[in-house]
Amino acid sequence: MRSIFTVLIFSLFTLSVSAQSIADMITTYRADYGALDRKYDVDPSVEHFDRFDEFYADWLQKLEDLDFAELSHPQQVDYLLFKNDLQRSAYFLNADRDRFNNISQFLPATGEVMNFINQRRNGNSMDGKEVAAWFNNWNSAVHTKKAELESHGLLAKREAVYLSDAIEELREGIEEAYGFYYGYDPDFTWWVEEPFKALNASLEEYAEMSEAHFDGEKEAADESGIVGNPIGEGEINRRLGFEMISYTPQELIDIANEQYEWTFNEMLRASRELGYGDDWKAALEYVKTTHVPAGEQPPLVKDLAEEAVTFLEDRDLVTIPDLAKETWRMVMLSPEWQKIAPFFLGGETVRIAYPTNTMTHEEKMMSMRGNNPHFSKP
């Protein structure tokens, strides 16, 4: 009897391990990721790349140790999605490492700085005079690296921005470690305060200089002035694979052109129905004039929301919980927010864009015209 009980317990344990919820693994993964990201927070840095390279490899091995065939179908789906996310994260981590290696020659005293940051993490007592000498030397190193960068010539924009971000990460790491001791350790405070101010200012200046150290005209793809970062067909296909998109770039372009043609023809049809023939721009301008008066946008949004609910429920397209219909609410977007979010935004809280008394006449008309009932339909 005892042997049967033992076999039963062993079988249940084996089932528990082999059919462990992938969702639970993902929850643990996210918690572990957050803990590591908060500790190894100087990104980019060698220690960050090394630790997360190990982290992703460990989690991929945990997935490999599972028996995929024993998982339920929903768990198999979660398994594949989780594995894809890990592989994608590891791939882009290594890509960032390559970018870091390309610009690391312009970073000042990275090993020494990380040593200081790690001593702060461990709560070690610091010799103020020694730290002051470090800061003074690093300040000199910043000026040296700045001169080397200027002699090297302009970088590609992506490298210039990445270098600037890396310098800023170092600066923030030093600042955080400095703040840990400043004011609490009298010896540290007396020695280090002024050297820190000088080093901090130099790093800020260097980061600003690095960010602009590229030739915008040379990199602009067209007259728009937008600076591109061509990655090639192979890399595009790889990234489409990470997104589990089974189309080639050309197939996606063909689909987009097909959808554009359909949309354009529908726009012409609507223009003709409005009496503007094929002058769709004139029809569009007319539609903009159909806005409701100032102050009347909330009732319109309410009507549009109820119309959307009725449309979905009458056609049994999606189940909308009663609680969702009960708890959604509205707020008005401030004039400042409307500059970056000019239209109303949906969700549990619908954010409505419409003019206020503080706007100029042009701003008021822009807000009203852009949020007419037809443009606002979900």
pLDDT in tens, the chain (378 residues): 444 444 334 344 444 444 458 999 999 999 999 999 999 999 999 999 999 999 999 999 999 999 999 999 999 999 999 999 999 999 999 999 999 999 999 999 999 999 999 999 999 999 999 999 999 999 999 999 999 999 999 999 899 999 999 999 999 999 999 999 999 999 999 999 999 999 999 999 999 999 999 987 777 666 666 666 778 889 999 999 999 999 999 999 999 999 999 999 999 999 999 999 999 999 999 999 999 999 999 999 999 999 999 999 999 999 999 999 999 999 999 999 998 888 878 889 999 999 999 999 999 999 999 999 999 887
The DSSP string of 299-311 is: HHHHHHHHHHHHH
Structural domain contains residue 10: no
Pair (135, 214) in one structural domain: yes
Please say whether the dihedral angle defined by the alpha carbons of residues 362, 364, 367 and 373, taken in this order, is positive or negative: negative
Query: How buried is 309 (Cβ within 10 angstroms: 0-12 exposed, 13-18 middle, 19+ buried)?
Result: middle
Total number of domains in the chain: 4
DSSP label of 289: T
Tell whether 133 is covered by a domain.
yes
Answer positive or negative: Cα dihedral of 304, 306, 308, 310.
negative
For residues 349 and 336, what is the distance between their CA atoms, to the nearest angstrom? Answer: 18
Could you tell me if residue 231 is inside a domain? Answer: no
Domain-located, residue 147 = yes
Write out pLDDT tens, residues 15-73: 444 445 899 999 999 999 999 999 999 999 999 999 999 999 999 999 999 999 999 99
- Whether residues 260 and 176 fall in one domain: no
Residue 1: per-residue pLDDT: 41
The model's pLDDT over 101-147, given as tens digits with 9 standing for 90+, comes to 999 999 999 999 999 999 999 999 999 999 999 999 999 999 999 99
Whether residues 144 and 89 share a domain: the answer is no
Contact yes or no for 170/202 (Cβ under 8 A): no
CA atoms within 13 A on the CB side of 338: 22
The answer to whether residue 227 is domain-embedded is no
- Distance from C-alpha of 154 to C-alpha of 157, rounded to nearest angstrom: 9
Both structure tokens of 128? 């103020």
Residue 93 sits in which domain range?
18-103
Given this model, what pLDDT does residue 2 score?
45
Tell me the two tokens of residue 370: 């852009």
Ramachandran region, residue 356 (left: φ > 0; alpha: ψ -120 to 50; beta: rest) = beta
On whether residue 232 sits in a domain, the answer given is: no
